[in-house]
Amino acid sequence: MYKNTIYTKAFLGLLLANMFFWMSNNFFLPILPIYYHTLGMDDQQIGMAIGAFSIGAVLFRVFCGKLADRYGSKPVLTAGIILSTLAIINYSYSTTIVSATLSRFLHGVGISVYSGAALTMATFMHDEQHMTEAVAIFTLFTMLGVGIAAGSASWLYSIGDFGLVVTAGATATILSLLLFPKNPALKTKPTSGKSLPLLQVIGDPGVYIPTVTLFAVNMCFASIMTFLPLFLLSRGVTEMHLFYVAYGIAVVFSRIWVKKLCILLTPQRLAEYILLVFIACMAMTASYTSEWALLLNGIAVGAGYGLAFPALATIVGERVQPANRATAFGFFTMAVDVGFAIGAIAMGIVADIWGYQAIFYVAGIYTLLYTAFYHLHFYGKLSKQLKSIET
């Protein structure tokens, strides 16, 4: 099944470029909260700086999707790689809350320019019947980059300093630019279908329901990745490698099973189970800090986060015509940024008022309420929408 999708030179180049690109981004998730803390920033300032990344991405996601639909994915994602490289280099000179926030904002812009265009190109490089496999494999390499970065970032920081992490991140983005296929062979015409107005594209239940669901997942993910290191330090726990290694392994291996799970359960049912996993993760994070708890939590967070994006992206890709796909994916991937911004900025305020433990209870309660609404309302609407595609 995968032979026609993986084993082409152009697609392999895109996969490797994508892996290095997301590796460069995720070197900083475990490190920046601790690094900013050493610079004297308080919890609210740390949340603001970390969340600026998502704000920069949110403001440009849909706009960049429209650009990719109009001018093609290649020039748009190339610009995103260049912007991200510049932002990472600038981290070395960002020692105040203002400069740190601006650097994170620029990095978020680079991510928004790249991500929707790259995902759209991955679907266009294959026939429509192989789109699910293409999304799964493309996002598997995303998670390979995420996993490698999550498992090695703390180690790099401990053996060197923040400059070593910046060097690793900048090198990874440069490799991404070099590996990106200069002449991608597209099997699906990007202009196939009628170009629709923005509101009509994002108003489709097959687009906005997966987007809102991805937001809920990423709010929990951001809460853990931004504040778990500080929460553990406040409890006297200094060994955090177990969580990040378990997360890195689980997030990679979960992508291997996403296609089979989508067939077995349907993507909309799988999304509901993922939400339940994150509710359990929030409760576990708030209640237990033992080594076994960190191991189990890392596995659960990695599996849930690893399954969420490709399962929900498959729904969007199958629902939207090629002529509007970059716009739809731009809106869909915006949920990553909004969820991360809420999880970082708002939860920083929660931490200042009630402490770190309250962060995970608040995120868990929100996710529980959304899961109930999804089960009672969204699940039926989404299932009906997907059945109309099949018929």
DSSP states of 236-282 as a string? T----HHHHHHHHHHHHHHHHHHHHHHHHH-HHHHHHHHHHHHHHHH
Separation CA 77–CA 173 (nearest Å): 12
Instruction: Spell out the per-residue pLDDT of the chain, length 391, in tens.
Output: 444 544 578 888 899 999 999 999 888 877 888 888 888 888 788 888 887 887 887 788 888 888 888 777 888 888 999 999 999 998 888 888 888 899 999 998 998 888 888 888 888 887 766 776 777 788 888 878 887 887 788 888 888 788 898 999 999 999 999 988 877 777 766 665 577 788 888 888 899 999 999 999 998 898 888 888 888 888 888 777 788 888 888 887 887 788 788 889 988 999 999 999 999 999 988 888 788 888 999 999 999 988 998 889 888 887 888 778 888 888 898 887 788 777 777 888 888 889 889 999 999 999 999 999 999 999 988 877 666 555 5
pTM value > 0.85: no
SS3 94: coil
What pLDDT shows up at residue 283? 92
Of 349, 340, 339, nearest to 45 by C-alpha is 349
What pLDDT shows up at residue 85? 92
Cα dihedral angle (336, 342, 347, 349), rounded to 10 degrees? 150
Q: What does each C-alpha distance from 119 to 141, 167, 219, 292 come to in angstroms?
A: 12, 26, 22, 36
Residues belonging to the chain: 391
What pLDDT shows up at residue 106? 92
Separation CA 24–CA 172 (nearest Å): 5
The answer to whether 189 touches 322, Cβ cutoff 8 Å, is: yes
Is residue 390 exposed (0-12), middle (13-18) or buried (19+ Cβ within 10 Å)?
A: exposed
Q: Taking the domains of the chain in order of start, what are their residue ranges? A: 9-181+198-390
283's tokens: 């409760």
For 9-181+198-390, CATH number? 1.20.1250.20
Separation CA 174–CA 313 (nearest Å): 27
Compute how many other C-beta atoms are within 10 angstroms of the C-beta atom of residue 280.
Answer: 15
Separation CA 104–CA 318 (nearest Å): 33
∠ Cα 74 75 78 (to 5°): 85
Q: What does each C-alpha distance from 297 to 203, 215, 281, 352, 372 come to in angstroms?
A: 35, 20, 6, 24, 23
Separation CA 118–CA 112 (nearest Å): 10
